[in-house]
Amino acid sequence: MEIRQLQYFLMLCKELHFSEAAFKIGISQPTLSQQIRVLEDELGIPLFDRMGKKIAKTEAGELLECYALQVIQQLDNAKKAIADLNDLHTGRLRIAVLPSDLDYRLTEILIDFRKEFPNTKVQVFPTIESLQRVLNNDVDIGISLKMNADSRLEQIPFYTETYSLFVNEKHDFAQKKSITPAELVNIPLVLYPQGKCGRDLIDTWCVKQGIAIDSVMETGSATSLFQLVQEDIGATIQPSQLIENFHSIGIVSIPIENAPIRELDIVYRKDRYLSKAAEAFIKMMIEKF
């Protein structure tokens, strides 16, 4: 049983005349008659009583009409739902993002996205395995540090930033215009734990600079690190623009000479359909950052 056959059947139910129904469908009367016979043969029961030029629905025809109307309506509902999905009226967007400071800075974008597309459900998954989540089709979009090219992925560079030293305004270095890598060695620091992307980036940079730094306290939250800086527990090394997003009081940002740099990519699978919602979110990310 095909959708086309059900559509022919319903038109005949409406017109109760083969010639009129065939005309409105846009096919010949013999073609319509043949398709109805195929349908009746499949069901093993007549759907119409033929009385010369007049026809009437049988009990089986009445029953099939009821269900056929539901089928066609559900198909129409599906088409409209997909159309709405393409128009960003409904649907779901899943995003894998580096944890810590970056997922925090997404909040403003998520708010704007929600205002513009209130019926699109957004799920954000903080993870250091953004690329793998994309490759596994667990998420639609990934946000990660710049990586070597992968032929399976579309990679869009969207942001590059340097790191700075953040200290309490009463810190001895608070008035400095810049700080050298060597000066970081003896400063009590509060940092992310090793294994976090931000910490690994800093440790790799330190090796290249020929220095070794240590932390007096570690936490996986950018917010808590800045709170520790506010309390003068230690200084922290974070992306230079991050302080603007915390509206912190009593914290000073000091540029680091030859500072660590991180480059961020938006990634998605090349062989997977990128929804309009995903395209819109990517555009927001690029414009915002």
Range of the domain at 254: 161-261
Based on the fold, state whether residues 231 and 207 are members of the same structural domain. yes
pLDDT reported for residue 196: 84
Rounded to an integer, the average pLDDT of 112-123 is 90
Same-domain status, 14 and 80: yes
Number of domain units in the chain:
3
**pLDDT at residue 60 is higher than 90:** yes
Residues 106 and 41 in one domain: no
Same domain, 140 and 166: no
Specify the DSSP class assigned to residue 179: B
Q: How far from chain centre, in Å, is Cα 200? A: 26
How would you classify the pairing of strands 261-269 and 153-168? antiparallel
Give the whole-number percent of the chain exceeding pLDDT 70: 93
Question: What is the overall mean pLDDT for the chain?
Answer: 89
**Given this model, what pLDDT does residue 245 score?**
58
How many CB atoms are closer than 10 A to CB 66? 9
When mean pLDDT is compared across 78-82, 135-139, 220-224, 267-271, the lowest value belongs to 78-82
Co-location of 19 and 71 in the same domain: yes
- Which residues does 190 contact at the CB level (< 8 Å), separation at least 6? 215, 216, 217, 218, 219, 225, 228, 229, 233, 234, 235, 236
Q: Give the mean pLDDT of 239-249.
A: 70
The CATH code of the domain that includes 46 is 1.10.10.10
